[in-house]
Amino acid sequence: MKIGVLCSGGDAPGMNPCLRAIVRAGDQYGDKIVGICRGYQGILNGEFWGGTDRAVDVREVSGWTSKGGASFNSSRCDEMRTEEGLRQVVENLRRYRFGALVAIGGNGTLTGAMEIAKRWEEGQVIGIPGTIDNDVLGSDYTIGFATAVKTGVDAVDKLRDTAGSHDMMFLVEVMGRDCGDLATAIAIAGGCELATIPETHTSIETLVEKLKRFKALGKKSTIMIVAEGDEYGGAYKTMEALKQAGAPYEMRAVVLGHVMRGGSPVPLDRILATRLGRFAVDALHQGESGKMVGEIAGKLSLTPLEEAVASHKTVARELIELLERVSV
Ligand code: F6P
């Protein structure tokens, strides 16, 4: 089977170990695994890893378990939002005689995969959840999330040192788009006092009351995680609102931004990526299509792409409550 593999949207640590697993699993089936460059854009441009639509050799992915980024490159592709763009993508998949497509990425990528599956009757399409946002339904964790949590916690640990030395408050803005999973996980693992996330309403007055209580209790420094998708529009704006409302700490804002998407994947991401990559190829050989592979309660699973992208995963209420109960 000739299988095209791509990474699309924002890259995530673990995409490379996933590509490695796909190339090696495909080799065992006798497949021709072709690396498509720059996501869906590469199908439109006929841009393949190594220059032509040749098979990626098993040796070419050596050492990719520890490699950050997406070595086939990734991009966002506006044409995928139009009927004409989708028609062109499917036409090119036929032109290059692909039998199957594996797309690794987040919500936008999986939506694109679903649209292709609807139009490419004779081809098979499997999606793999790869995004630091962990906002996809049908998998407890997405590839890249565990590494991004580690990156965020490392930053918080460092900021706590300087916050302690100067009796200060830091507002740390983290990625995650419309999902507060990343922010909540970093806040809990980093022992942060507060977190603001898109899933809950943020009241500046309540935050200031809490900060005053912390101060009265003798807490000299504090760290608050701000999800980029929270209603105030990031750490700087939240800091301004808190200042205006009389927050009792000297404050600084730090935006972690794209640092969160980089770095060597942590072991949990490497294992998840390898399991899902291998499983995606197995699923294709079992005749599956229009589905996303995932891991639910430790077990590999297949979820129709329609269900995976139907809505965003929302952060578990239990975690939000946990954060409130332990931050005193
Ligand atoms: O979806 C991954 C992600 O890193 C989000 O957390 C973030 O909002 C977005 O991508 C940033 O995208 P870009 O690199 O296009 O600015």
- Could you tell me the CATH number of the domain that includes residue 181? 3.40.50.460
Strands 124-129 and 100-105: parallel
Strand partners, 253: 171
Tell me, yes or no, whether 162 and 227 share the same domain: yes
CA-proximal residue: ligand 1, atom 4 (nearest): 10
Q: Quick one: 57 and 154 in the same domain?
A: no
Spatial distance between the Cα atoms of 98 and 204, rounded to a whole number of angstroms: 54
Is 130 contained in some domain?
yes
Please indicate, yes or no, whether residues 21 and 164 belong to a single structural domain of this protein. Answer: no
Question: Which of 175, 178, 181, 230 to probe ligand 1 with, by most ligand atoms within 8 A of CB?
Answer: 175
- Which of 142, 177, 230, 258 for a ligand 1 pocket mutation test, highest count of atoms within 8 Å of Cβ? 177
Mean pLDDT of the chain: 96
In a domain, 327, yes or no: no
pLDDT value at residue 324:
85
CA of 319 to the centre of ligand 1 (A): 23
Residue 247 lies inside a defined structural domain of this protein: yes
Query: By the 8 A CB rule, do 136 and 305 touch?
Result: no
317 in any annotated domain: no
Q: How far apart are CA 242 and CA 286, in angstroms?
A: 56
What are the φ and ψ backbone dihedral angles of 175, each rounded to 5 degrees? -70, -175
How many domains does the chain contain in total?
A: 2
Task: Looking at the structure, tell me whether residues 294 and 254 fall in a common domain.
Answer: no
Distance 263 CA to ligand 1 centre (A): 16
Q: 254 with 295, same domain?
A: no
Minimum-distance ligand 1 atom for the alpha carbon of 9: 1
**Do the domain assignments include residue 102?**
yes
Q: Is the pTM of this model over 0.95?
A: yes
88 within some domain: yes
Residue 324 lies in a domain: no
Ligand 1, atom nearest to 229 Cα: 8
> What pLDDT, on the 0 to 100 scale, is given for residue 320?
85
How far is the centre of ligand 1, averaged over its atoms, from the C-alpha of 122 (Å)?
Answer: 33
Q: How far is the CA of 167 from the centre of ligand 1 (A)?
A: 32
**Which residues of the chain are modeled with pLDDT < 70?**
none
Residues 257 and 161 in one domain: yes
Q: Are residues 190 and 166 in the same domain?
A: yes
> Which tens digit of pLDDT belongs to each residue from 185-215?
999 999 999 999 999 998 999 999 999 999 9
Its domain, for residue 275, covers: 2-144+265-308
Q: Whose CA is nearest to atom 8 of ligand 1?
A: 177
Give the C-alpha separation, 252 to 236, whole Å.
8
Q: Which residues line ligand 1 (CB under 6 A)?
A: 9-10, 106, 131-133, 175-177, 228, 261
Q: Which of 261, 287, 316 is the C-terminal boundary of a domain?
A: 261
Shortest-distance Cα residue to atom 14 of ligand 1: 10
Query: In 49-69, which positions are buried (b, 16+ CB within 10 angstroms) versus exposed (e)?
Result: beeebebbeeebbeebbebbb
Q: Which residues are catalytic?
A: 133
Residues 113 and 222 placed together within one structural domain of the fold: no
Residue nearest (by alpha carbon) to ligand 1 atom 11: 10
CA of 219 to the centre of ligand 1 (A): 34
Asked if residue 96 and residue 64 are part of one domain, the reply reads yes
Going by alpha carbons, the residue nearest to atom 15 of ligand 1 is 10
260 CA distance to ligand 1 middle (Å): 10
State the pLDDT at residue 317: 80
Return the residue whose CA atom lies nearest to atom 2 of ligand 1: 10
Q: Are residues 33 and 109 in the same domain?
A: yes
My answer on whether 16 and 137 are in the same domain is yes
Q: How far is the CA of 300 from the centre of ligand 1 (A)?
A: 27
Closest protein CA for atom 1 of ligand 1? 10
Which atom of ligand 1 lies at the shortest distance from residue 107's CA? Answer: 1
Q: Does residue 318 lie within any of the structural domains?
A: no
Specify the ligand 1 atom closest to the Cα of 76.
Answer: 15
HEC profile of the chain: CEEEEEECCCCCCCHHHHHHHHHHHHHHHCCEEEEECCCHHHHHHCCECCCCCCCCCHHHHCCCCCCCCCCCCCCCCHHHHCHHHHHHHHHHHHHCCCCEEEEEECHHHHHHHHHHHHHCCCCEEEEEEECCCCCCCCCCCCECHHHHHHHHHHHHHHHHHHHHHHCEEEEEEECCCCCCHHHHHHHHHCCCCEEECCCCCCCHHHHHHHHHHHHHCCCCCEEEEEECCCCCCCHHHHHHHHHHCCCCCEEEEEECHHHHHCCCCCHHHHHHHHHHHHHHHHHHHCCCCCEEEEEECCEEEEEEHHHHHCCCCCCCHHHHHHHHHHCC
Whether 124 and 249 share a structural domain:
no
CATH number of the domain residue 66 falls in: 3.40.50.450
